[in-house]
Amino acid sequence: MNARERFASLVKERLLAEGFSYKKFGEEVGQVPHQTVSRWVNAQGLPEYDRLAAISKLLEIDQGVLHRLWVEAITERSRKVAGEPVQSSRADLNDHVADGFEELQAIKRRMAKLEEEVRKLKSRG
């Protein structure tokens, strides 16, 4: 999934969760046509930077997260236009870090269980 698709997916998910129609959301963001909102959620376009704060507030998305996704999508688009290799290395790294964090959490849970078993065995004997 590229950066624009990740941005679109998050916005679409939150639009649905908050019960907004594209038309109502566009009005709330600042007189944006529903077609434009549709392009955002279908990964066919990105909002202007000055709309991010309103989007973040209306959809209850952390502004830092939304901004990071937007910057990655803009950077990816710029590279594509310039004919440079499109690499989402930072986004890929973030995915790997998240996977590693989840794995680390699972290891910590297993370690805590093992430590508890060792304590029980020591108390018995």
Q: What percent of the chain has pLDDT over 90?
A: 54
pLDDT of residue 89: 53
Distance CA 43, CA 63 (A): 19
- 105 pLDDT band, cuts 50/70/90, is confident
Residue 98 identity (one-letter amino acid): A
Instruction: Kindly report, residue by residue over 38-95, the tens digit of the pLDDT.
Output: 999 999 999 999 999 999 999 999 999 999 999 999 888 777 666 765 555 555 555 5
Residue 100 identity (one-letter amino acid): G
Q: What is the mean pLDDT of the chain?
A: 85
Rounded to the nearest 10 degrees, what angle do helices 34-41 and 3-18 cross at? 120
Q: Is the pLDDT of residue 23 over 90?
A: yes
- 13 pLDDT band, cuts 50/70/90, is very high
Q: Give the per-residue SS3 of the chain.
A: CCHHHHHHHHHHHHHHHHCCCHHHHHHHHHCCCHHHHHHHHCCCCCCCHHHHHHHHHHHCCCHHHHHHHHHHHHHHHHHHHHCCCCCCHHHHHHHHHHHHHHHHHHHHHHHHHHHHHHHHHHHHC
pLDDT of residue 95: 59
Q: Is the pLDDT of residue 17 over 80?
A: yes
**Alpha-carbon distances of 85 from 7, 63, 77, 100, 101, rounded to whole Å:** 20, 28, 11, 26, 29
Q: What percent of the chain has pLDDT over 70?
A: 82
